[in-house]
């Protein structure tokens, strides 16, 4: 299995603070993605990082990938109440079509 596993399972922070979520996976990957899901809603694609990349930025998001440790982190800087959601990492393997999701980190940003 190449499931991504996020930690922590839940994270509660104050608005303005940074939030860091980690993801570990088991097998070789082609890419790793992070998604956000608001309660009961659809999945929103945040960022994709390829296996030959080490870091990627998008607005307040910073993603790192360490293929030697089979891990990734998602940093949300200057968090806002609207960032409250579940965040999932998902891995894609070479030649495959499916994306495997982890269980997610529930982030709660207090105003």
Give residues in contact with another protein (CB under 8 A).
3, 30-31, 33, 35, 40-45, 48, 50, 88, 90, 92-104
Instruction: Output 19 or 104, the one with its CB closest to another protein.
Output: 104
What are 36's strand-pairing partners?
44, 87
Q: How many residues does the chain have?
A: 111
Give CA–CA dist 70/26, Å, rounded: 7
> What's the token pair of residue 89?
């990492």
Place of tokens 């307040």: 60
Instruction: Output 48 or 75, the one with its CB closest to another protein.
Output: 48
The answer to whether 71 touches 22, Cβ cutoff 8 Å, is: yes
Instruction: Output 31 or 73, the one with its CB closest to another protein.
Output: 31
Cβ 12 to another protein, closest distance in Å? 18
Instruction: Output 11 or 100, the one with its CB closest to another protein.
Output: 100
Cβ 28 to another protein, closest distance in Å? 14
Cβ 44 to another protein, closest distance in Å? 7
Burial class (CB in 10 A: 0-12, 13-18, 19+), 73: middle
């Amino acid at each position: 299995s190449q499931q991504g596993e996020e930690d922590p399972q839940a994270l509660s922070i104050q608005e303005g603070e940074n939030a860091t979520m980690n993801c570990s996976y088991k097998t070789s990957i082609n890419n790793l993605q992070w998604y956000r899901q608001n309660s009961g809603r659809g999945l929103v694609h945040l960022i994709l990082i390829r296996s030959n990349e080490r870091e990627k930025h998008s607005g307040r998001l910073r993603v790192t990938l360490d293929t030697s440790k089979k891990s990734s982190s998602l940093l949300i800087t200057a968090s806002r109440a609207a960032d409250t959601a579940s965040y999932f990492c998902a891995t894609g393997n070479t030649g495959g079509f499916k994306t495997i999701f982890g269980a997610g980190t529930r982030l709660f940003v207090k105003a």
